[in-house]
Amino acid sequence: MSPGGRGTRTGKVHEKLIQQALLENYPGAFKEQVVVGNDLFGNKYKADFVLNDEIIISAKWQQTHGTAEQKIVYEIITLVKILKENPKYKKAYIIISGTGYTKKAKDFYLNQKHVEYIKEGNLIEIISFEDFVKRSNLKLL
């Protein structure tokens, strides 16, 4: 899928749903598309959302089977790097949704197995969209 193609458009729907939960439960407390640091290769990294100026939220939609589920590992490492380099940010969430994740990959991520393999991976929590909405409704982000 080329950049800006269907995958990007469907991911935008996912972001809009996250935005709606934040608007409802954290009005005025979040920003969108914020440059928070640099990725592993030194390119500017734009967070989908930043909550309370300290929590980075990354939205990852996977509609069809493919390599996006493998790219989550890169996302985790990039976010760990950003959190270590900028103490302003305390935590990051990666919100995964969509039917394109394999069961094994989804279970691995949602059970926080990345923590066993990535140093300081505990700074990054991977949650489902449903869990995100629940936590948002309860003001537990």
DSSP letter (8 states) at residue 3: T
Task: For residue 56, give the CATH number of its domain.
Answer: 3.40.1350
Q: Is residue 10 part of a domain?
A: yes
CB-based contact 51:26 (threshold 8 Å): yes
Q: Is residue 122 part of a domain?
A: yes
Look at the chain and report how many structural domains it folds into: 1
Place of tokens 């589920």: 69
% of the chain exceeding 90 in pLDDT: 82
Summarize pLDDT for 73-104 with one digit per residue, the tens. Answer: 999 999 999 999 999 999 999 999 999 999 99
User: What does the pLDDT read at residue 9?
Assistant: 58
Q: What is the mean pLDDT of the chain?
A: 92
**Alpha helix positions (H), 40-124:** 68-85, 103-110
What is the extent of the structural domain holding 107?
6-137
